[in-house]
Amino acid sequence: MTRIVVLGDVMVDVVARLSGPVAIGSDSAASVSFGGGGSAGNVAAWLAHAGETPLLVGRVGAD
């Protein structure tokens, strides 16, 4: 059996969806959502979606 190892970054994607157009000098209401991201995180997720069992290797930073 071939193992797929994904090595790289895993991040958090922050997505803000505005309720309308952005107007200069004003506030715009938005809904904010968080999801998994990063190059390695995305590749591992798509491999799993395709039926593979990837091993994801990353490192926790101090930031």
4-40 pLDDT, tens digit each: 999 999 999 999 999 888 888 888 889 999 999 999 9
**What are the backbone dihedrals phi and psi of residue 18, each rounded to the nearest 5 degrees, phi first?**
-80, 145
3-class SS at 47?
helix
Tokens encoding 20: 């309308």
- Give CA–CA dist 52/6, Å, rounded: 12
Q: CB under 8 Å to 2, separation ≥6 — which residues? A: none
Model confidence, pTM: 0.70
Tokens encoding 17: 């969806």
pLDDT of residue 51: 96
